[in-house]
């Protein structure tokens, strides 16, 4: 039988170390909502989402109450809308109309984000993909809860540099359209390489075409728990350090697995995967940067940061894999800047630069995330940042992403405020030398040699 020390340990994790389940995300296929008539498509989408996800928030709250564990977000991911709208959307405005329907459906069922206003263009772009991409800035301006993502490359296909060039412009236009709120529209837009089909985390979640009609994916969290465990062993050797992270990750993930199974059972929807990512929040003590500092860095960004992060990410996976029957999504430590107080402090003091963040993304998921850059950064430079990050993903056969926010009207030394879970971020300097000629080239970067495994 369970003893009092074990019970106290669990409750201390929840109450003092901010253990929570970050998100229960219901993936819903909208492929059966396709229609040649726009109004009909809108109706079908709204009906399907509100029917399938009707009880999602209620069940999430019940599970949280039963087990005494906070479940922070209840969310929905859907089939990439460029596919769903392909036969009825003749203009970008038609796609924006679908975005409004998604926003309405999300509000109706009470989820805080719905992800999947997306296009998958890793090799080429259809007419409908292009219409969707061109509609993103407007869609991000007029909706509140819709999240958008575009997959511009993969290890198998190489990088679609026409899409990369376009996304630099789209990110900038999205920033411009939401400049009244520190360009917050860009916080809902992710550019991927090797995007996974079953990611439960926003803003990059979508329900891939390889998935079933509906599925429950769960994202766990718990940087605070790992940090507290490591603070107990400041002088331990690497073996003990790794063992401690693994044990802690196991415990965190088991909670996620329990919640996922319960949600799946109560909603009557199949369980998909647990995403093992350590996801920070702006709350003090819930920070991945703090873990790296507990491992032994004075500040994140110091020499040794990449190695410490590689160790952390690997041990979290090793502990987590043992705890769950199915692991998927992004599954790695997240290093968003604005959502992590330790990262914010490191950027503000100058310890952490965008170049070091890029190096860190080589060894963890998911990429350059929630980074505020000067509003006068050129579209070509943003495309260059996207291309660099996508190349890292392509060559290393991993998911990488870019979610940068060019804060219109602000520059280095100022701060962008996003609020809530999105936090705030000091604006980080970007290399001012131009990559314009490189980005203006047309076509694709071919797939790397090691992708030819057949």
Partner 1 sequence: MEKAVITVVGKDTVGIIAGICTYLAARNVNILDISQTIVKEYFNMMMIVDLSKASQPFGEIVKELSSVGEEIGVAVHCQREEIFTKMHRI
Number of residues that bind partner 1 (CB under 8 A): 21
Could you say whether residue 258 binds partner 1 (CB under 8 A)? yes
DSSP per-residue letters across 333-344: ----STT-HHHH
Identified binder of partner 1 from the candidate list 11, 47, 181, 240, rule CB under 8 A? 11
CA distances 304 to 242, 354, 359, 388, Å, are 16, 16, 11, 22
Could you say whether residue 449 binds partner 1 (CB under 8 A)? no
- With contacts defined by CB under 8 A, name the span among 63-71, 138-146, 155-163, 385-393 that binds partner 1: 63-71
Contact between residue 270 and residue 264 where contact means Cβ atoms under 8 Å apart = yes
- With contacts defined by CB under 8 A, name the span among 1-9, 293-301, 373-381, 408-416 that binds partner 1: 1-9
Evaluate the omega torsion of the peptide bond into residue 203 and state whether it is cis, within 30 degrees of 0. yes
Could you say whether residue 10 binds partner 1 (CB under 8 A)? yes
Separation CA 104–CA 271 (nearest Å): 26
Contact between residue 190 and residue 405 where contact means Cβ atoms under 8 Å apart = no
Of residues 315 through 344, those in contact with partner 1 by CB under 8 A are none
Task: Report in angstroms how near the CB of residue 33 gets to partner 1 at its nearest.
Answer: 35
CB atoms closer than 10 angstroms to residue 375: 21
Task: Report in angstroms how near the CB of residue 11 gets to partner 1 at its nearest.
Answer: 6
Task: Report in angstroms how near the CB of residue 198 gets to partner 1 at its nearest.
Answer: 22
Task: Report in angstroms how near the CB of residue 311 gets to partner 1 at its nearest.
Answer: 23
Per-residue binder mask for partner 1 (CB under 8 A), 33-62, x = binder: -----------------------------x
Short-list 433, 341, 420, CA closest to 385: 433
Could you say whether residue 7 binds partner 1 (CB under 8 A)? yes
CA distances 368 to 192, 274, 406, Å, are 10, 22, 13
Task: Report in angstroms how near the CB of residue 13 gets to partner 1 at its nearest.
Answer: 9
Task: Report in angstroms how near the CB of residue 7 gets to partner 1 at its nearest.
Answer: 5
Could you say whether residue 353 binds partner 1 (CB under 8 A)? no
Could you say whether residue 265 binds partner 1 (CB under 8 A)? no
Widest pairwise Cα distance in the chain: 68
Contact between residue 343 and residue 333 where contact means Cβ atoms under 8 Å apart = no
CA distances 297 to 20, 245, 307, Å, are 26, 17, 11
Short-list 101, 91, 95, CA closest to 83: 95
Q: Which residues contact 12 (CB under 8 A, 6 or more apart)?
A: none
How many alpha carbons fall within 13 Å on the CB side of residue 10? 15
Could you say whether residue 216 binds partner 1 (CB under 8 A)? no
Task: Report in angstroms how near the CB of residue 36 gets to partner 1 at its nearest.
Answer: 46
Nearer to partner 1, 14 or 311 (CB): 14
Could you say whether residue 243 binds partner 1 (CB under 8 A)? no
Separation CA 404–CA 11 (nearest Å): 36
Classify residue 17 as left (phi > 0), alpha (psi -120 to 50) or beta.
alpha
Task: Report in angstroms how near the CB of residue 324 gets to partner 1 at its nearest.
Answer: 11
Nearer to partner 1, 62 or 388 (CB): 62
Could you say whether residue 443 binds partner 1 (CB under 8 A)? no
Provide the pairing of β-strand 214-220 with 271-275.
parallel
Task: Report in angstroms how near the CB of residue 221 gets to partner 1 at its nearest.
Answer: 15
Per-residue binder mask for partner 1 (CB under 8 A), 65-104, x = binder: xxxxx-----------------------------------
Nearer to partner 1, 35 or 243 (CB): 243
Q: What is the dihedral of CA 243, 247, 249, 253, to 10 degrees?
A: 150
- With contacts defined by CB under 8 A, name the span among 3-11, 185-193, 269-277, 422-430 that binds partner 1: 3-11
Separation CA 102–CA 147 (nearest Å): 10
- With contacts defined by CB under 8 A, name the span among 27-35, 73-81, 147-155, 250-258 that binds partner 1: 250-258
Could you say whether residue 263 binds partner 1 (CB under 8 A)? no
Could you say whether residue 307 binds partner 1 (CB under 8 A)? no
Separation CA 99–CA 311 (nearest Å): 40
Could you say whether residue 12 binds partner 1 (CB under 8 A)? no
Which positions lie near partner 1, rule CB under 8 A? 1-4, 6-11, 62, 65-69, 251, 254-255, 257-258
């Amino acid at each position: 039988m369970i003893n009092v020390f074990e019970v106290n340990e669990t409750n201390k994790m929840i109450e003092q170390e901010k253990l929570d389940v970050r998100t229960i995300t219901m993936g819903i296929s909208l492929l059966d909502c396709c229609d040649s008539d726009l109004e009909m498509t809108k109706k079908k989408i709204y009906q399907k989402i509100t029917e399938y996800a009707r009880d999602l928030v209620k069940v999430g709250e019940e599970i949280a109450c039963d087990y005494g564990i906070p479940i922070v977000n209840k969310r929905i991911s859907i089939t990439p809308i460029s596919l769903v709208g392909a036969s009825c959307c003749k203009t970008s405005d038609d796609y924006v109309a679908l975005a409004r329907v998604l926003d309405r459906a999300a509000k109706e069922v009470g989820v805080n984000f719905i992800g999947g206003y997306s296009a998958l263009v890793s090799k080429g772009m259809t007419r409908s993909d292009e219409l969707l991409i061109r509609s993103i800035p407007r869609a991000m301006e007029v909706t509140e809860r819709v999240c958008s993502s575009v997959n511009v490359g993969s290890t198998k296909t190489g990088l679609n540099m026409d899409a990369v060039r376009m996304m630099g412009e789209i990110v900038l236009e999205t920033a411009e359209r939401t400049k009244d709120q520190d360009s917050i529209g860009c916080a809902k837009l992710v550019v991927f390489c090797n995007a996974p089909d079953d990611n439960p985390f926003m803003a990059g979640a979508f329900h891939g075409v390889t998935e079933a009609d509906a599925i429950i994916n769960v994202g766990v969290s718990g940087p605070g728990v790992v940090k507290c465990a490591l603070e107990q062993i400041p002088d331990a050797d690497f073996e003990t350090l790794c063992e401690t992270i693994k044990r802690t990750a196991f415990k965190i993930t088991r909670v996620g697995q329990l919640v996922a199974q319960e949600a799946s059972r109560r909603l009557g929807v199949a369980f998909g995967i647990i995403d093992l990512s350590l996801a920070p929040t702006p709350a003090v003590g819930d920070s991945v940067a703090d873990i790296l500092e507990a491992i032994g860095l004075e500040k994140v960004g110091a020499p040794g940061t990449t190695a410490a992060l590689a160790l952390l990410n690997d041990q979290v996976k090793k502990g987590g894999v043992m705890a769950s029957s199915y692991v998927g999504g992004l599954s790695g430590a997240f290093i968003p800047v604005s959502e992590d107080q330790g990262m914010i402090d490191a950027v503000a003091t100058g310890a952490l630069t965008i170049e070091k963040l890029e190096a860190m993304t080589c060894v963890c998921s998911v990429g350059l995330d929630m980074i505020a850059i000067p509003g006068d950064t050129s579209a070509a430079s943003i495309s260059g940042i996207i291309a660099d990050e996508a190349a890292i993903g392509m060559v290393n056969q991993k998911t990488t992403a870019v979610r940068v926010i060019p804060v219109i009207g602000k520059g280095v030394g100022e701060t962008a405020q996003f609020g809530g879970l999105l936090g705030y971020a000091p604006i980080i300097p970007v290399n001012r030398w131009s990559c314009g000629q490189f980005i203006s080239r047309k076509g694709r970067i071919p797939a790397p040699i090691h992708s030819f495994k057949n």
